[in-house]
Amino acid sequence: MKKKNLKKMKMVIMKDLIPKVMMILGGSLISIGIIVIAFGVGWGLGVSPLTNLNWNWTDLLIGVLAALPLYLFFFLTSRLPIKGFQQIQQFLLEELGPRVEHGKVWELFILCIFIGLGEEMLFRGVLQSWATQYGVIVAIIFTNILFGILHSITRLYVIVATLMGVYMSLLLILFTPQNLLIPVTTHTVYDFMCFMYVMHAYRQQKEAEQPYESE
């Protein structure tokens, strides 16, 4: 009897642990891979992804504050009775929820740093910087159409991701001197707040479903 209970306990632990490990470790490795790709693409195009990346406390604060409008948009649209936004919300809860449910705050924050750093180095640090030779507007359009396509969760999310990418691009070019730290910080903080939202929303959803499951 004890062996059976122990085996059952191990299975439950593994069921909860595997999605978390896959999310944290897998997500970090993918993001590190994107950083490597950024250096590779940058080498091929003659653009260093670190050219405009400089540490500055003021720019760090700007990046943090710039994440707030993005999160407000995410929070408000998640509550709109519009099918497209509800599909995005459902996707996040079903796909991301189980993976972040048992994640520690510091683990998710480190993951978000890798995500923000990797994607911004590739898209804004390399591709946008390289495409600027054809004009700033062309560079922003090119970079963020590609950014949106690579975030194709749903058709609406492609549009949303493209517009968010444009926002990140503007954060890079509107401040002098240009500092990639601003969009990196914004991207990191925004993703982190979204992860926290999904984690709490998923936990509440599970708690609400438990009474019905026990009946």
Residue type at 145 in one-letter notation: I
Question: Long-range contacts: 32-41, Cβ < 8 Å, 24+?
Answer: 32/114, 32/118, 33/118, 34/118, 34/119, 34/121, 34/122, 35/114, 35/117, 35/118, 35/121, 35/122, 37/122, 38/118, 38/121, 38/122, 38/125, 38/126, 41/122, 41/126, 41/127
Which residue matches tokens 């922003």?
140
Based on its alpha-carbon atoms, the radius of gyration of the chain, rounded to whole angstroms, reads 20
Output the six-digit token pair for 15.
């069921």
User: What pLDDT score does 13 carry?
Assistant: 42
> What is this structure's pTM?
0.85
Mean pLDDT in order along the chain per 10 residues (215 residues): 47 48 69 93 95 94 97 93 90 86 86 94 96 96 96 90 97 94 97 94 79 53
User: What pLDDT score does 46 carry?
Assistant: 95
User: What pLDDT score does 37 carry?
Assistant: 95
**DSSP E strand boundaries for the chain:** none
Taking the C-alpha atoms of residue 73 and residue 158, their distance in angstroms, rounded to an integer, is 15
User: What pLDDT score does 54 carry?
Assistant: 94
